[in-house]
Every structure is written in C-alpha cells, then in structure tokens.
C-alpha cells in the first residue's frame, strides 16, 4: 500500500500546483485505539472477514461480497452524521498470507481507495484498467496486475480533495473484538 501511495504522492508533488501542500511521502498505518482524527484528505479502508459488511448500512452485519470484487465502497450510509456525505470502504482479505495473497489484498485496498477518493461507480472506474479494473466491466484484480500511470495520475490529481471518511466503524469493530468468548451473542452478527 505504501509503495502504491508513495507513487501517488510523488506524482501529486510533481504537479507543483501553487499553494498546494507537498506531502513528500505517504503515511499508511494500522489504526488502533485510541483512534486519531482522520483528516478530510485521508482515507480509511476496513479489513473485515468475508461474509460480513460494515459499510453497506453503517453497521456490522452479515453481507455478501459482490461477485469477484472482494471489496465494497459506499457513500450513502444513512446513520452516519451528516447523512450521505461520508465514504466507507471495506475489503475482505480472504486470501493466503503468501506474498501473492498479500499483494492482492493491497491491490484490492487500493482499488477501493480509488472508488472512495474519486467518487466513481463501478461503471465509471473499472474501464480505467490497471488497479481500477473490476467486474462486470473489466477483469477482476489479480496479484499480477500493476498500478498504471493513468491510475497514478487520476489519484494524484484528486489527492487534496476532501472526502470525509465514515469512521464509526472503528468503534463498531473494537466493540465486536472485545465481546468475550463466553458471550452467547459472539459470532451472531
Ligand atoms: Zn470496483
């Protein structure tokens, strides 16, 4: 993820727009409580088990990943304030912890980051190919697919756009993890 986003930041800084922040390099990290404030230009991607969803309705519930698209981005979470304005992205890291599997998860996270940051639907994003690829418009992302110059330029041009992230999922996941194993509700969501 960092190697992907460092290329975006470099391209962004090279645009040299007047008055624009030069970021230098990207900052990719795992969030842990207590959670820092997420700036409007930053992105949050949730990694959650396949068979669940957070961003569909803004709560942790059973869900089905879209076909051959092991991630999901939603802009219309009704119960997050203010309604309909925050972006939530999730990826189901349902792959072996091999170099190929981990690269695929990072590429899927980048793909959802593109939906999120660029505010593009499947039909708008997937024909851009590279890590923008996705069914049904184009091929599903594989571990051999690469970030393209057009992917880099699209993200670099939008890096400063404020895209408030849906962060309520952070506390929802923390609560779910903290349910004791003895609680009969555990595993029922
Ligand atoms: Zn997609």
- The alpha carbon of 184 and the centre of ligand 1 are apart by a number of angstroms equal to 36
Predicted confidence at residue 40, as pLDDT, reads 84
- The alpha carbon of 113 and the centre of ligand 1 are apart by a number of angstroms equal to 10
d(CA 180, CA 94): 24
- The alpha carbon of 47 and the centre of ligand 1 are apart by a number of angstroms equal to 16
- The alpha carbon of 150 and the centre of ligand 1 are apart by a number of angstroms equal to 16
Predicted confidence at residue 188, as pLDDT, reads 52
Are the C-beta atoms of residues 67 and 145 closer than 8 Å to each other?
no
- The alpha carbon of 180 and the centre of ligand 1 are apart by a number of angstroms equal to 35
- The alpha carbon of 55 and the centre of ligand 1 are apart by a number of angstroms equal to 14
Q: Read off the pLDDT of residues 68-109 as tens digits, 9 standing for 90 and up.
A: 778 999 886 655 555 556 899 999 988 889 999 999 999 999
- The alpha carbon of 167 and the centre of ligand 1 are apart by a number of angstroms equal to 21
- The alpha carbon of 163 and the centre of ligand 1 are apart by a number of angstroms equal to 18
- The alpha carbon of 92 and the centre of ligand 1 are apart by a number of angstroms equal to 13
Predicted confidence at residue 81, as pLDDT, reads 59
Predicted confidence at residue 80, as pLDDT, reads 56
Q: Is a pLDDT exceeding 60 seen at residue 12?
A: yes
Q: What pTM does this model have?
A: 0.90
Q: Read off the pLDDT of residues 100-122 as tens digits, 9 standing for 90 and up.
A: 999 999 999 999 999 999 999 99
Our measurement of the distance from residue 29's CA atom to the centroid of its chain's CA atoms, rounded to an integer in Å, reads 13
What DSSP assignment string belongs to the chain? -HHHHHHHHHHHHHH--TTPPP--S-------SSPPPPPTT---EEE--TTEESTTTTS-EE--PPTT--EEEES--TTSSSTT--BEEEE---S-SSHHHHHHHHHHHHHHHHHHHHT--HHHHGGG-GGG--TTTSPPP-TT----HHHHHHHHHHTTS---B--HHHHHHHHHHTS-TT-TTTT--
Of 28 and 19, which is predicted with more confidence?
28
> How far is the CA of 182 from the CAs of 176, 179, 189, in angstroms?
13, 8, 15
CA nearest 7: which of 148, 163, 158, 165? 148
Predicted confidence at residue 16, as pLDDT, reads 86
- The alpha carbon of 154 and the centre of ligand 1 are apart by a number of angstroms equal to 15
Other CB atoms within 10 A of residue 159 CB: 20
Q: Read off the pLDDT of residues 138-172 as tens digits, 9 standing for 90 and up.
A: 999 999 999 999 999 999 999 998 888 999 999 99
- The alpha carbon of 136 and the centre of ligand 1 are apart by a number of angstroms equal to 9
Q: Is a pLDDT exceeding 60 seen at residue 32?
A: yes
Q: Residue 20 — very low, low, confident or very high, per pLDDT cuts 50/70/90?
A: confident
Q: Read off the pLDDT of residues 33-66 as tens digits, 9 standing for 90 and up.
A: 899 899 888 999 999 988 899 998 889 999 877 7
Domains of the chain: which residue ranges?
A: 2-177
Rounded mean pLDDT of 26-38? 92
- The alpha carbon of 148 and the centre of ligand 1 are apart by a number of angstroms equal to 16
């Amino acid at each position: 993820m960092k190697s992907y986003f460092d290329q975006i930041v470099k391209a962004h800084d090279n645009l040299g727009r007047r008055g624009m922040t030069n970021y230098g390099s990207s900052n990719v990290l795992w969030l842990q409580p207590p959670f820092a404030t997420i700036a409007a230009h930053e992105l949050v991607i949730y990694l959650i088990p396949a068979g669940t969803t957070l961003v569909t309705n803004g709560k942790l519930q059973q869900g089905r990943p879209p076909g051959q698209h092991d991630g999901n981005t939603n802009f219309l979470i009704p119960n997050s304030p203010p309604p309909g304005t925050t972006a939530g992205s999730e990826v189901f890291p349902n792959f072996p912890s091999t170099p190929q599997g981990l690269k695929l998860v990072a590429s899927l996270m980048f793909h959802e980051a593109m939906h999120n940051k660029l505010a593009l639907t499947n039909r708008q994003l997937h024909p851009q190919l590279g890590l923008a690829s996705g069914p049904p418009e184009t091929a599903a992302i594989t571990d051999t697919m690469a970030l393209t110059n057009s992917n880099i330029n699209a993200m670099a041009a939008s890096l400063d756009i404020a895209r408030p992230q849906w962060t309520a999922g952070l506390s929802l996941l923390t609560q779910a993890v903290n349910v004791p194993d003895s609680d009969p509700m555990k595993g029922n969501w």
